[in-house]
A and B are shown apart, each in its own frame.
Chain A
């Protein structure tokens, strides 16, 4: 079956620090990969996506590259802000899965201090 593993948090950084949140996956088919973000008190929002190997998704200074050889989709940002404090979820959906439901990682809480 499909699964997503991401680093456990919380991750605590100072403002302007470099961020990496690791994500690896297993999938039986040809997945699309996503990062979703959940800000305090809000719902899940799509942050970025990549639909095939070597694609790079990017948004709001965040980026992640779909690495089929290492089955990874690590999230990076060069300089985090306090406003980036949130929970980040890595997820996949699979063309072989008729339902196209998302399989999520456990989430990583990011705390950015001024």
Chain B
């Protein structure tokens, strides 16, 4: 497709369960970013990938959060033992390169609700 694709679009799960969110970036984009959008915190950076490596994991809120990217394309964000405060919209973005004048293109997000 032409844009960044995220799945699922909505996910409802019980507290304590693990969830996996998927992001398919724009073809050819080497940089990939995960952000979280929540009512209390606004838009927060979580992690970014340059190719398959993640040089900066400083935004991950706890060790329950992890992410990987394979083949320089699809990325998955995994949240283990989910808590209610994990409820948010998780956004993925990609850009052609990691330089600051390259705009990031966002997917529609995954709305995660923890019961």
Q: Which residues of A contact B (CB under 8 A)?
A: 30-32, 34, 36, 42-46, 49, 51, 89, 91, 93-95, 97-107
Contacts and interface: CB of A to CB of B under 8 A. Distances in A.
Contact of A102 (B45, B99, B101, B107): B45
B35 to A, nearest CB: 7
A105 B43 CA distance: 8
Nearest to A105: B42
A93 B100 contact: yes
A42 B103 contact: no
A93 B100 CA distance: 5
Interface residues of B, number: 25
A102 B45 CA distance: 7
B100 A89 contact: no
Interface of B: 31, 33, 35, 42-43, 45, 48, 55-56, 59, 91, 93, 95, 98-109
A34 to B, nearest CB: 7
Q: What 3 pairs between A and B have smallest CB-CB spacing?
A: A43-B108, A104-B43, A93-B100
Count chain B CB atoms within 10 A of each CB in A36, A91, A102 and give the residue with the most: A102
A25 to B, nearest CB: 13
A106 B35 CA distance: 14
Given A101-B59, A104-B43, A95 B100 contact: yes
A49 B91 contact: no
Contacts of B91: 43-44
Nearest to B104: A102
Given A94-B100, A98-B56, A100-B48, A45 B106 contact: yes
A105 B42 CA distance: 8
